[in-house]
Structure 1
Amino acid sequence: MYAIVTLQDSDEVMVVASNWLSLDKKQCCWPPFKSPDKCMEAVQNRIKAETGGKPWEKLNISFHRECVTFEKAKEGQKEIKEQKERSYLLATGFSGILKRQRLESTQGMSNNQLQPLPAVTPASTYRMSADDKDELLQMLRDIKSTVQENSAMLKKLLKDNTVSEAPSSTSVPSKDIKANLKLPLRTFEDVARTERELNTATTRKKYVKYLSGLGGFGPKDVIKNIMQQVITDDLAKEFNWQGRGDKRPFSHLILTDVIRDAAFKRSVNRVECETEIKKYLSYTADRLGRKRPREQGGPGHEIPIVISTSLMDNQPEMETSRNFFDE
């Protein structure tokens, strides 16, 4: 016996061996073969639903009917496909759209004729010709094929992707992992300790895995998420990219290489990564200027004047920040 089913994930009508169905006929074992010919052979021979003693994956299905022979099942598959396609045409009104396109084409070819074109019949009452039907069915098959390919590709990407895609506003790192890595860094002693730890490949991999899992959309968001977890603003203000002035060079740290590797796993290349780190470090004083008045003065404290004065009095800091992007 053979069964005609619709795979719920792809909405594809298929013929399968009846012995592959679950008792309630809501699931079906599916062969792991990549070759369509091998899958077809497995269906025709109704082989046992396992490979090397390992059961096949079960897929959710909608059961239609069973047939005694494979040929009858293929005929039933074709009928059900055409029924679904006709239902889709009626639901979307594609027949009326195609008729309208043909009338417009006729109008363009008949510029010398002055008589008006006949009114377009509404989709709900228009009776399709054989040519219309064939053309629309082919269009739907092409669309369906594309959707199925995209679905398969998306499923593979989701299966292969082990990194969280949560945006920065909802990205919540594991507290256990964070505590184990002793982040964020708060003192120069913390930096020196971390640099020693990162000399081992195992520890470096742990940092890369943790930092790449912080999420973010685009280079700015990714680097912001990483830097916020890596270093406090109080310590970050002691660094700039090249170590100019009285600052320490962030680019010389092993930790910076780790950040590059983590960012690369989020599709952020080296140039984008370094640019965003420079920006993040250069804006540290501004972040502290906004944060500290709120902490000291409470909700009713007026902060705009304090920020403006501190920035005007700190011209060397601003000048250094601007120089980062000339390096």
Structure 2
Amino acid sequence: MEDFAVVAFKYSDSGDEVELVPTCWLQDEETKCSWPNFKNKLKVTKAVKEMTKPGDAWSIHSIKVLAKCRDYNAGRLLARNANNASGIQREGNYGLGRRRIKSTHNDSEDDSDSSIPQQPKPKKRYLPEPPEIEGEEETRCPGSSRKYSAMYSLLTSPSSSSSSSTQMPKAVLRSCLEDALRPVMLAVARCESRLQEQQKTLEMVLSIVKNLKESQTAPPTGPDVSLLDGLLPIKSYVDFEDFEQQINGDCALRKSLACRLQVLGGATVKAAVKNMVDLCMTSGLQYEFNWEGRLGWKTKTNTCKKGFKNTTLCKIMINILVNKTQLATDESEVGKTIMVYLRNAGDRYFGRKRPNDSLS
């Protein structure tokens, strides 16, 4: 059963107006329809959706049923299509909702007034073109606007001295031409200065690239680090004493060690110390050392450890780390870092389970 109907209200002074109404509002074999007297349109829409029963105070209008449907949304679509259809003609200047359509022409004017032509809208005015000098061919001055072309032709033409009395003096024309060319010359000067700066920058970049290529292709110069092959890392204290004697007596071996330690990375002092100590000694040998060579507080026996502070290897490490500008450190900070790293060598070598006696 259809609950809604699309109807056209009939008026004597205007065309039909299409609306969607519930079928319970239809009367007299669907020839008349009740309509609420609400002033608020939202209340009318709510009454249509909820299919409110007609009240006694509602008005009754003559209608013509155009279509029926079960759904409210489908009914609204049918009503909209019926309003836009060409078959529904409206008479008079009335729109939907009995609104009078405003006329675009004034109907009160007489025919004589309508015959008077309307004045056209004022056009956008532009500046007039400059006058051309008779007898002289127009020559465009390079880099200047059109209004200085005649002045340029007067200065460059051979007949400029025999010009008529109506022409401007040559000095005035020259000043005008200089004023016109001044911005162009300034722009050219700026471009030349920027070009020179860019050329200098390009030459500097090319020189840097050339130096980098030469440094990469050049044969390595400096100490031979291959002398340290087979010597590092040191595994026992006996080998450590022999290595100390070698670097004290052999200057080339000492320079090779310093060069090898210097190229090690490390963004902080702690990282640099770790890399150096791990390169030179195993964790088992690190456990036999502490900073002062005294009985450590982590040692569970009465045997003192060897001191690392006065060794040649320690002095080389400290000297390299202090001279690195990116670390910005001093001898005391480096010594403290090495001391802490050697103190925790037992944890790295044995783990958390330490032996009851020291290594022998």
> For this structure pair, what is the TM-score category when the shorter chain's length is used for normalisation?
0.3 to 0.5
Higher RCO (Cα < 8 Å, 6 or more apart): 1
TM-score normalised by length of structure 1: 0.37
User: Greater share of helix residues, 1 or 2?
Assistant: 1
Larger Rg over CA atoms: 2
